Amino acid sequence: METEAPTEVMQRHLSDRHDRRGHPTSDWSARAGGRGFLQRWRRATGGWQQQVFGVDIPGLNWLSETIMQQLPPDTIRLLSSSQTISSVVSVVKELVENALDANATSIEVKLENSGLDRIEVRDNGDGIKSVDTPVMGIKHYTSKISHHEDLEALETYGFRGEALGSICSVAEVVITTKTTADDVSTQYTLDKAGHIIAQKPSHMGQGTTVTVLKLFKNIPVRKQFYSTAKKCKDELKKVQDLLMAYGIIKPDLRIIFTHNKAVVWQKAKVSDHKMALLTVLGTAVMVSMVPIRHHEQEPEIFLSGFLPKPGSNPSSTSLISPDRSFISVNSRPVHHKEIMKLVRQYYSSQSQKDSAHMRYPIFFLNISVPASVVDVNLKPDKTQVMFHNKVRCT
Ligand SMILES: Nc1ncnc2c1ncn2[C@@H]1O[C@H](COP(=O)(O)OP(=O)(O)OP(=O)(O)O)[C@@H](O)[C@H]1O
Ligand SMILES: [Mg+2]
């Protein structure tokens, strides 16, 4: 029987390979992936000389079988974490929501180098009990729910016990916290699995400060995404838009947002949604807005907010993007295509200008429904919700 040189056997075989989607791989990609493949084959067959030159090639059995193996814990953690924490703004969102869940009335968000070098979120909330600190960064530990059924009565932003653990996987994390029961605050340094690796007393007051350093240091592609000035600027704008949304939803919340030590945006504590909207949108927009209020039974729905006055000028009450179209469901800022569509339809029907239907009205819609009729666990970033039986919101 004629034998072939090992490399030819291997290359022909690689060329016949298909990728995970079932598409044949090109010669180039087969060869590029071939080195790891050669090593795996060698490992699986315990050496390859006799298999290739002999008639029996045990390695081929291995090649034709699918061998499932469990991914290493580090890989599993990184894969899920980088979905939950996909951007600078997603880190800020998770940390701000933790602060709000801890009843903070003041939140300071400080970024350096667009958040890639440093993200710091400081709150004056309840703090983390010392008994909880060993697990605060461990995935699936939460103080907010105990069972899936608790989602039926969810009152907090968080519920998965994943955010801090996910951030630990993709950045360096330091948490300083103090409750009323503590004499002094303690600063904890966590490792990538969320375990405490160092701790020392610190001088901070009541509340929690989470510092996130070197975001995406272990995900070069994600980090590289922010390599242009435009991408960094866009991300800062997204952070500001998000903070504005919380600022409107929580009028009594004080927010300061700084970038490279310069204040980008801030909001003082105000009395109600209208005053909060005035801070965010300005008087020129608010004079063209009208308050709305609606209440329905079965299920109980409270709808309130501000919409552009009928016939108002689109140049002052709409934008070409939905950046100032604020929808909140149970105090959660969300994107909801159908609600947005309804408001846009209403807006263009009320406007005398044809261009209105192309634009996004400036508005704030605050929807409160029983937690049991809304599913908030649709997306890793919790920015979308699904209503049970399509609760009528019109
Ligand atoms: N700023 C904070 N103030 C007080 N406690 C906090 C703060 N941040 C986190 N914690 C505590 O750490 C726990 C873990 O936070 P993490 O964000 O990882 O999970 P979660 O908020 O419970 O759920 P989710 O992953 O949905 O956000 C929280 O349940 C809470 O007890
Ligand atoms: Mg959380």
Are 123 and 343 in contact by the 8 Å Cβ rule? The answer is no
- 113 plus 42 within the same structural domain: no
Among the three residues 237, 267, 297, which one is the final residue of a domain in this structure?
267
Determine the Cα–Cα distance for residues 102 and 12; give it in Å rounded to an integer: 61
CA-based end-to-end distance of the chain: 79
**331 within a domain of the structure (yes/no):** yes
Provide the pLDDT for residue 365. Answer: 97
Determine the Cα–Cα distance for residues 392 and 394; give it in Å rounded to an integer: 6
107 lines ligand 1 (CB under 6 A): no
Nearest ligand for residue 177 CA: 1
- 193 plus 301 within the same structural domain: no
Strands 360-361 and 318-319: antiparallel
Provide the pLDDT for residue 132. Answer: 98
356 lines ligand 1 (CB under 6 A): no
- 91 plus 141 within the same structural domain: yes
- 141 plus 212 within the same structural domain: yes
- 110 plus 234 within the same structural domain: yes
188 lines ligand 1 (CB under 6 A): no
143 lines ligand 1 (CB under 6 A): yes
SS3 270: coil
- 295 plus 337 within the same structural domain: yes
82: its two tokens: 């980088």
- 99 plus 173 within the same structural domain: yes
- 211 plus 83 within the same structural domain: yes
Strands 262-267 and 325-329: unpaired
Provide the pLDDT for residue 14. Answer: 37
pTM for the predicted model, two decimal places: 0.84
Determine the Cα–Cα distance for residues 131 and 263; give it in Å rounded to an integer: 36
Nearest ligand for residue 97 CA: 2
- Bridge partners (DSSP) of residue 147 are none
User: 106 C-alpha to center of ligand 1: Å?
Assistant: 17
- The candidate with the shortest Cα–Cα distance to 369, out of 340, 311, 328, 325, is 328
- The domain that holds 123 is classified in CATH as 3.30.565.10
Are 175 and 136 in contact by the 8 Å Cβ rule? The answer is yes
- 107 plus 246 within the same structural domain: yes
Provide the pLDDT for residue 33. Answer: 45
Instruction: Report the 10 Å Cβ neighbour count for 70.
Output: 7
The CA-atom distances, in angstroms, between 20 and each of 17, 24, 25, 155 are 10, 9, 10, 42
Greatest CA separation for the chain: 90
Backbone angles phi, psi at 319, to 5 degrees: -135, 170
- 262 plus 305 within the same structural domain: no
Torsional sign, CA 343, 344, 348, 349: negative
**274 within a domain of the structure (yes/no):** no
394 residues of the chain, pLDDT tens digit each: 344 443 343 333 333 444 444 444 444 344 444 455 555 555 554 544 444 444 555 555 555 567 999 999 999 999 999 999 999 999 999 999 999 999 999 999 999 999 999 999 999 999 999 999 999 999 999 999 999 999 999 999 999 999 999 999 999 999 999 999 999 999 999 999 999 999 999 999 999 999 999 999 999 999 888 889 999 999 999 999 999 999 999 999 999 999 999 999 999 999 999 999 999 999 999 999 999 999 999 889 999 999 999 988 888 999 999 999 999 999 999 999 999 999 999 898 888 777 767 899 999 999 999 999 999 998 988 999 998 876 554 4
Domain residues for the domain of 368 are: 282-390
Determine the Cα–Cα distance for residues 19 and 39; give it in Å rounded to an integer: 18
- The candidate with the shortest Cα–Cα distance to 243, out of 355, 370, 100, is 100
**70 within a domain of the structure (yes/no):** no
